[in-house]
Amino acid sequence: MERVIDIKGLTKSFKEKRAVKDVSFTIKRGEVVAILGPNGAGKTTTMLMMLGLLSPSKGDVKIFDEEANSKHVREKIGVMLQEVSIMDGLKVKEIISLIRNYYPNPYSLDHLIQITGLNQDDLKKRTEKLSGGQKRRVGFALALAGNPDLLFFDEPTVGMDITARKIFWETVKELANQGKTILFSTHYLQEADDVANRILLFNDGTIIADGTPEEIKKKLSKQSVSFITNDVIPRKMFLEHPFVTDMFEKDGRIYLVTEDTDLVLAKIFELKLNVKDIRVEKGRLDEAFEQLTGEHKEVI
């Protein structure tokens, strides 16, 4: 599969502060990747280096096998950064038309209105008169204007109301279905879980986990199978299997802590144990995130 982003040994220091430390990863065409992590983890710094807007202290970034700020690459990417700065003195329609003109194969204005939730009234407004939320919608339209193959969104939904968020994610999912490659940073674990097919979990300038939301949950958070039984079950019966990491009794239920609930269920049936009220509890991504980063994060 085509490699869209290739990053090797990326490092960025600001005086004594090493914001990004020897980060390497590749992203293939069609992946939807969430860069997740607490404040100061290095998400924005990494994204700015990918975009060629910040030069690395060490390491290498290639986008479509080329330097990030080459003209060819710029024609294929769309970007929405945390601070949406839009040229003052123009109407929304004018700025969108201006940006569309930079690209060889832009979306039509009508299509952009439709997929970003902008309306005819918004188009007539002067950019300096937009509210914070409206600015983000326009920023979204500008990121999409060129019909890019690769999209970068840095904490895109901050400042958006519920409707704007819904439209934003519906459009992102639709773009993903069309095979676009999408990278977004977020603090919102639920967004990563819902939209991304891969999560890069950042903490303190490094990637501490890389996988699908399911893999990360499976790997990092505790899952269990529990049941009620009148029989005496020797601890050895389960703990001799590597997929069971703990076994305990609580409130009259036996709990088996595991990385793979399917294997535990299969074992229970294989042993023909006399059990009832079997419950499977899957780990949650926000729990995994807290475990890994030691941070408590709000989940929307």
Ligand X SMILES: Nc1ncnc2c1ncn2[C@@H]1O[C@H](COP(=O)(O)OP(=O)(O)OP(=O)(O)O)[C@@H](O)[C@H]1O
Out of 5, 10, 41, 264, point to the residue binding ligand X (CB under 6 A): 41
Out of 11, 30, 40, 299, point to the residue binding ligand X (CB under 6 A): 40
Nearest to 46 by CA among 65, 74, 24: 24
Out of 16, 39, 252, 276, point to the residue binding ligand X (CB under 6 A): 39
Nearer residue to ligand X within complex by CB, 185 or 261: 185
Q: Among 12-20, 136-144, 208-216, 252-260, which window interacts with ligand X (CB under 6 A)?
A: 12-20
Q: How far is the CB of 204 from ligand X (least distance, A)?
A: 9
Out of 2, 14, 101, 119, point to the residue binding ligand X (CB under 6 A): 14
Q: Among 13-21, 125-133, 216-224, 286-294, which window interacts with ligand X (CB under 6 A)?
A: 13-21
Out of 23, 32, 33, 42, point to the residue binding ligand X (CB under 6 A): 42
158 interacts with ligand X by CB under 6 A = no
Nearest to 155 by CA among 9, 30, 38: 38
CB atoms near residue 111 (< 10 Å)? 12
43 interacts with ligand X by CB under 6 A = yes
Of 159-218, binders to ligand X (CB under 6 A) are none
Nearer residue to ligand X within complex by CB, 76 or 187: 187
Q: How far is the CB of 55 from ligand X (least distance, A)?
A: 12
Q: How far is CA 248 from CA 239, 241, 251, in A?
A: 11, 15, 10
d(CA 204, CA 20): 8
Out of 2, 9, 17, 166, point to the residue binding ligand X (CB under 6 A): 17
Nearer residue to ligand X within complex by CB, 43 or 267: 43
Nearer residue to ligand X within complex by CB, 19 or 130: 19
Nearer residue to ligand X within complex by CB, 30 or 59: 59
Nearer residue to ligand X within complex by CB, 187 or 267: 187
Q: How many angstroms from the chain centroid is the CA of residue 141?
A: 20
d(CA 256, CA 42): 37
Size of the site for ligand X (CB under 6 A): 11
Nearer residue to ligand X within complex by CB, 39 or 85: 39
Q: How far is CA 161 from CA 54, 115, 179, 195, 293, in A?
A: 30, 16, 27, 18, 28
Phi-psi region of 226 (alpha: psi -120 to 50; beta: other; left: phi over 0): beta
Q: How far is the CB of 56 from ligand X (least distance, A)?
A: 13
Q: If residue 288 lies in a helix (H) or strand (E), which one and from where to where?
A: helix 285-293
d(CA 221, CA 231): 29
Helix spans in 102-229 (H)? 109-116, 120-124, 132-144, 162-177, 189-195, 213-220
d(CA 109, CA 116): 11
Q: Do residues 183 and 27 make contact, with C-beta atoms less than 8 angstroms apart? A: yes
248 interacts with ligand X by CB under 6 A = no
Contact positions vs ligand X (CB under 6 A): 14, 17, 19, 37, 39-45
